[in-house]
Structure 1
Amino acid sequence: MSSHGSSAPRFRRPAPLFASVADSIPGDPDPATSSDLAHDSARALLDGVFHSADPEVVQRVLTLAADDGLTDLAALWSGAPATSLPGALWRLYVLHTWSQLNGEDMVRRYRAGSRTVPGLRYLSGFAEPPDVEQVHRTMDQILRGAFTGDLGLALRRAGAVATIVAHGTAHLADEDDEAHRTRQAERLLSTGEDLTAAGRHAEAGTLD
């Protein structure tokens, strides 16, 4: 995925993974049909990876997330409701991307937040205390799990991470730019709540 131990090739603006995904993405989506396109492309990507027996396909999705190869899809998913499949995958994609680009910052916020909401630490799956490499590995595992294992659990784990980091961000507001940190904490908490709710919908079979 990133430079931390993966030997998989890195792709920039690659060909789509599956024809069904490619067919769902026109050059400039009509707003009237963008919702259907978001849902169809999210389901096509998720199903395509989940039913693939080739581990290289899974690794390629992770590599795409690291190299902005999912940018077009993420843009299509960004307007979807939080408790829909494309909306949940967009939030997971954004959280994963931030963790890869700002690992040290996430570690600092996570460590501060884990003291406030210790009950979520076990669900997040981070070592205590995590380092940057642990953050990268765990977020990779969560993203991988969303496509190959238990989507509901993966989303709830991501929700736990976002919630812990939100509390840590609020705690650090006293040390940094308070207004800016407070806004960040609110956004992260909202993301955590959205991912947790989406995870519950996925477990109930109602995440579409």
Structure 2
Amino acid sequence: MGVQIGSNVKDPERIRERRQQIVEAAVRLFSEKGFHKTTTREIAKASGLSNGALYEYVNSKEDILFLVCQHIHNEIARQLDIHLTDADSGAAKLRRAIEGLFAVMQRMQADVLLIYQEAKSLPRPYLREVLRQEQRIVEMFEHLLQEGVKDGTLKVSCERIPLLAHNIVVMGQMWAFHRWALKDVSFEQFAELQTSILMSASGAVDAPLE
């Protein structure tokens, strides 16, 4: 079992609702001011809670940062799931998942940057869990690559699959990390080229690199 954030409240639905308010407020504030310059009092006010009430649902600002990271990874995974259907071939599933990854990275640029800028402030057990959550996303692509190899729609050696899965995730994150340097490139151009590169690297016969 992963990291569990303690709460003085016993109602699971109330905890979920209040933590969602806290996370939404913290994402805005951390993105604007950074983790260290944001106070829990500011987070409480922005989430519609008193400072005392906030501590009914979390124990520290680090707890809040962990919940923010967890929320972002869960949303990325949820969006990837939306782009998949059981009827697709392995190659088609992979293409849709890559396109879904780019779409969610485009929409959640600030959130993705937030994780990489601020996660270093987490206590070690929390950081390990955040890294495990990111690995879960990488493993989704590993499974898709393996499925494509199994049904013959992808031609890539099993030894290369783990590295290729990491490459897919990193190339998706590139839109968030290097957006400042890609001012003359539209998101559509970026997504089309990156998808073509990754599908070709995966050995998809219908994905020549243009």
TM over 0.5: no
Question: TM-score with structure 1 length normalisation?
Answer: 0.31
Q: Answer with 1 or 2: which has the greater Rg.
A: 2
